[in-house]
Structure 1
């Protein structure tokens, strides 16, 4: 403990020294940690760029993350005002042998981020432009925009894009790992929409790439490993405004029945109609059931005011505790499913939020029961730390995703139909609790994996816990791993991009 306190004191002293460097004259020989001279960097940035140091409100806001488990540690934060500011910051970091990490929505909870123990955070929030092309078919989108902001800007022009579903998540981050969204049944993944992108490479070069670049394949699925995307040109579409949802709350006693019907009702077989999505959550709600977690099952349909009974009647036959039918627009989807800006998943509370994702082709009712019982024992323990935990089951229409060949991008799991992940929210309380959570989360995932019949574990890199391997994140086929390694050696031989689910 004494050594830990000494290390903290030394770190705080280094931060204080760094803060002082911001004000020294250009000619001063003042020394910052690792020879950081913020004045030297500031002189190369645009007049809209900002630099934050520890102790400032700007720094605290920039480094705040949704999950406080193994976060990256920054010595300074640079907020670029232009794409060239990213170039200059990466070059500066390279010159000073400083690690760097680009951030935006800060919802990636992967523990590999904790390997960054100092360095430069490049906070992209100012790069939030949206420029719709004159033909109305594409838009240039800044690398720092959030999903909600992009949706609102496009909505005002009668347009929409495939984005992630949660309003506070960045647009580009999910896309670099593939990117699931409400519209993927029509058009494919977020990354399938990209036409070109401006990328700052590991050496600080700003380049524009498209389908003619060998890097294009890797950026759409494993992009965190190869560059910082400062802007992207993406396909956009005419919007369909009206949506309907049916929310059914079931007792946990009905786990097998609910998911057997989901399998039999065209919801999990990869040919679910393109206008349909289904989600479900497990969570503890004592107002509905004081003894165990409930199942909240959502059926969402596009272009209607009432969900077609052909999809809902089999579930009503089970006998839900309660139900609610709502109609509205695309803008209502996040609030209906509890992931709007106002909802808990968009709050940065200082808690740990690890997930243990797995892709499935269909539900195994026996496995669902087993993991439900484990989850129930966690969240209904009155003295336990997991009262806010959530189990997520995301069932999107897959037809647009499967329309692309399996080898089209570095995203490897187009043949899977369901994205499943326990979210074990808890307050940090030392390494023993962290280890316990990792053990339970992986136990749950292993049960689902064994029940899937798959020969290899498939995990969504954007939800990854961090103890998975590149074969799990990016596909176990030898050709996939070889291609990623070859591109890594070419574009990032010194592994400057090595903190988010590294390919090696």
Structure 2
């Protein structure tokens, strides 16, 4: 079928190129769009249509559920191209969506139908300032490129934990990362940025702009960031180490009770420690029940301190592992490197149902483990799903007052998220998967005793309320709404977790 599609696209393209004018001219939109855009764009910009070489790569997404539909992909090669593309889309009344890593799985992006994808892949760059205190990153630069380039110069900054995601995709929604205990969120590193607004104009903004507050946590709603200048830091602790443990399901209570007591400590986990765990199925080890893998990551050491591992060793894990290395090893240790499964675009549905928590409710942990086990047994198509529990250090995040940015949930200690993964099949399976994810999240919410349900916007499923993404305070919602009306009254940037 792909060959047939490509041949049809080639045939139409050939016909269009050879019909200067005829009654078939209205069947050749590719010719018109290409001609109109070529006069606006830099020489190295590229244009792709369905069936043409490059289109599939540009539009391939990590999750295929409710994926956006594009009639055209434009890959800008310089920042000014983005402004021209937005102006062109405005003149033609076409929706558009900026894409860098393609990992945005929120279902709201599926509202883009017949639009333009602005593929930022060519806007990949790292330029370190002469004073070594900041670096400027192109709008499409991926995390591994940033980490490796800075590391070679004795520098680092906060990025997401996956090598394959961009800096700005997570960063515009706040952005958790391994170094947040030292320095805060990804967005807390921003110093200035070039952003293309809904009118197509490019502006350079910083702390003196009223928009600055909004782009640090709700930035997907206000424009396309073509480059950002962020704070960078000297590498103080090049050594890192990990210890991992695999447990059977009977250890749920002991494991999460120990995490609460010995690591999380009511939100005071040491700045040099992170913990990370997930439920997963491995029928070769246990054909009936999920296993639990648990990581302790420690900064500044060649081996994790036994003071932190002893209690978990005493729980009699099935297996243990440990190693020392450097910060650049963290993604491979935790299964988030470029060649690991979470970074592959394999045509699967990947949907998440995040909730922030203060601590683990042990009874709720048992309940969601049993629910996850039962559902993935009863619906084998969901057997590849995971249930993620992320315990980053928090000092750098909590040091910044909550009202200083649009990121609303600095006081939360844990990021928890069922990740329901399956091959697309039927609406019935989609419904069953969504019901499972939402049911798991609801159990944790009810057990938390909180009135508010906090949802990390970069993991969101898409059916949550705006207050779940951006905060419950009336002043916060009013400020976002006023800025939206000022900068994007027509709602051009309302496809990713829209404010309105």
Q: TM-score range by the shorter chain?
A: over 0.9
Q: What value does the CA root-mean-square deviation take over the aligned residues?
A: 2.1
Q: CA deviation at 1:408?
A: 1.2
**Which segment is superposed worse, 459-468 or 265-274?**
265-274
Q: CA deviation at 1:290?
A: 3.2
* 1:420-473 superposed Cα distances (whole Å, 9 cap, x missing partner): 101110111121111111111111100000011111110011000011011101
Equivalent position of 1:440 in the other structure: 436
CA distance in 2, matches of 1:93, 1:262: 51
Q: CA deviation at 1:380?
A: 3.5
The 5 Å alignment of 1:287-302 reads 287-302=284-299
- Alignment of 1:270 with 2:267, yes or no, is yes
Equivalent position of 2:447 in the other structure: 451
- Alignment of 1:110 with 2:84, yes or no, is no
Equivalent position of 1:389 in the other structure: 385
* 1:53-105 superposed Cα distances (whole Å, 9 cap, x missing partner): 11023000000000000000000000000001001000000000000000011
Q: CA deviation at 1:378?
A: 2.6
Equivalent position of 2:361 in the other structure: 364
- Alignment of 1:42 with 2:38, yes or no, is yes
Equivalent position of 2:227 in the other structure: 231
- 2:191 paired residue among 183, 192, 195: 195
* 1:335-387 superposed Cα distances (whole Å, 9 cap, x missing partner): 11111111111111111000000001110011111111111113334x61012
Unpaired runs of at least 5, structure 2: none
- Alignment of 1:280 with 2:277, yes or no, is yes
- Normalising by structure 1, we get a TM-score of 0.94
**Which segment is superposed worse, 308-317 or 337-346?**
308-317
Is this contact kept in 2: 1:268–1:418, CA < 8 A? no
Is this contact kept in 2: 1:293–1:380, CA < 8 A? no
Unpaired runs of at least 5, structure 1: 1-10
Equivalent position of 1:252 in the other structure: 249
- 2:339 paired residue among 317, 342, 354: 342
CA distance in 2, matches of 1:19, 1:245: 54
The 5 Å alignment of 1:118-157 reads 118-157=114-153
Sort the Cα spacing of 1:90 and 1:20 in 2 relative to 1 into closer, same or farther, 3 A.
farther
Equivalent position of 1:70 in the other structure: 66
Q: CA deviation at 1:287?
A: 3.8
* 1:283-334 superposed Cα distances (whole Å, 9 cap, x missing partner): 0123433331111010000010111112111111211111111111111111
Report how many residues are paired. 493
- Alignment of 1:476 with 2:472, yes or no, is yes
CA distance in 2, matches of 1:181, 1:257: 27
CA distance in 1, matches of 2:393, 2:419: 23
Equivalent position of 1:3 in the other structure: none
CA distance in 1, matches of 2:7, 2:414: 48
| SS of equivalent to 1:37 | helix
**Which segment is superposed worse, 75-84 or 13-22?**
13-22
* 1:245-304 superposed Cα distances (whole Å, 9 cap, x missing partner): 000111111111111111111325221111111000110123433331111010000010
Is this contact kept in 2: 1:424–1:441, CA < 8 A? yes
Sort the Cα spacing of 1:160 and 1:21 in 2 relative to 1 into closer, same or farther, 3 A.
farther
Is this contact kept in 2: 1:81–1:126, CA < 8 A? yes
Equivalent position of 2:488 in the other structure: 492
Equivalent position of 2:173 in the other structure: 177
